[in-house]
Amino acid sequence: MAQDLTPDAMFAALDFQIALGADLCIAEEPLDRYALSAAEAERKRAAAEAPAPSAPPPQTRPTVVVQPDADAIGEARAAAEAAATLDDLQAALAAFEHCELKKAARTLVFSDGRPGARVMIIGEAPGRDEDMQGKPFVGRAGKLLDRMFAAIGLSRASPDLDTALYITNILPWRPPQNRDPNPEEIAMMKPFVERHVALAAPDLLVLMGNISCQAMLGRRGITRLRGTWAEACGLPALPMFHPAYLLRNPAAKRQAWADLLDLQARLEPPN
């Protein structure tokens, strides 16, 4: 009769038996479970009495600390200081050959918005969309950034410098797989960022995310830093959550809104 059952019917019958409490199957030959238990107990006793194999002494691996190339940083500083205009600075970045990221990136992502705007946003590094279009913050995070600042009357497309935004990143080239920039890359690019700020001449800075804070403030921990004004390049600087973080953690938008209101109040002329 069992041979006439379909597989589904067999599974249904098995489920029914399990529901009734059956947990053993009767075999054709008797099974001495006492003998099995005694054999298992003897096996465990023998294993416990056997001498343990001697483990090799643990090997310690030396800690390798990658130090930024002093010559590369010196060349970056000299090239940045020689730039008299933003176009000069962009050309100096394009000619800089010491950053390996340049070899894998599609484009140099320099800036977007209006130079001379009162607010300059410094992000972390380009992503895939930015690498393709050559502008910072153009992907999903960029769309959210535009909506955030539009809520307080600021836009990268505004012709009025009082309501415009100017945007750049710590790194101008996309890291592979969007990984975080390493300290060597940040150190090489920092002279260019500092010169960028000087030439753009904003009134204040917005530091978006941990990498921006690490580069410009020497500190990480955006959840502690956000919402507290600091100073970078001689200007007031407000650390904020990166829009990409807000896309992953929507609950943090409430804190980001508080930071935007703080920024708006800072921009308002005194009574």
Convert the pLDDT of each residue in 228-249 to its tens digit.
Answer: 999 999 999 999 999 999 999 9
When pLDDT is cut at 50, 70 and 90, the band that residue 45 belongs to is confident
Distance of alpha carbon 271 from the chain centroid:
40
Residues 208/119, Cβ–Cβ less than 8 Å: no
Counted residue by residue, the chain has a size of 271
Q: Percentage of the chain with pLDDT > 70?
A: 77
Which CATH class name applies to 70-267? alpha beta
Query: Which is nearest to 166 in space by CA: 110, 108, 112?
Result: 112
Q: Where are the domains of the chain?
A: 70-267
Name the residue type at position 21. G
Write down the pLDDT at residue 43. 76
**Arithmetic mean of pLDDT over the chain:** 87
The Cα 104–Cα 172 span in angstroms is 12
Token representation of residue 241? 């959550």
pTM: 0.74
φ/ψ (deg, to 5) at 60 = -95, 135
Q: How many helices, marked H, and strands, marked E, lie in the chain?
A: 12, 6
Which DSSP string do the residues of 234-257 spell out, in sequence order? TEEEEEE--HHHHHH-GGGHHHHH
Mean pLDDT, residues 125-137: 96
Tokens describing residue 56 = 């090799």
**Contact of 189 with 79, CB cutoff 8 Å:** no
The band of 40, judged by pLDDT with boundaries at 50, 70 and 90, is: confident
